[in-house]
């Protein structure tokens, strides 16, 4: 997975069949980032915890 310049190994998956705007499979990203979901504008923002 790569977010900006940060690249790290992680199991992830995507599924359009879940029927929601944001699909989360592989919750370990929350240990590295504060994740902000703005469903109204379909935007996800990642802020490093560092």
Whole-number pLDDT of residue 2: 87
Could you say which DSSP state residue 30 is in?
H
Domain around 42: 2-48
Tokens 């900006």 — which residue? Answer: 4
What is the distance, to the nearest Å, from the Cα of residue 14 to the centroid of all Cα atoms in its chain?
Answer: 11
Whole-number pLDDT of residue 11: 75
pLDDT per position as a tens digit, 7-49? 988 877 666 776 665 556 566 788 889 989 898 998 989 999 8
Question: Taking 70 as the threshold, does the pLDDT of residue 50 lie above it?
Answer: yes
Per the structure, the count of domains in the chain is 1
Whole-number pLDDT of residue 31: 85
Whole-number pLDDT of residue 47: 93
- Write the CB contacts of 14 (distance below 8 Å, at least 6 apart in sequence): 23, 25
């Amino acid at each position: 997975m790569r977010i900006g310049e940060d690249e790290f190994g992680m199991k992830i998956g995507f599924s359009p069949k879940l029927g929601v705007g944001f699909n989360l499979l592989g919750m370990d990203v929350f240990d590295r980032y504060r994740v902000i979901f703005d469903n109204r504008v379909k935007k996800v923002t990642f802020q490093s915890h560092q």
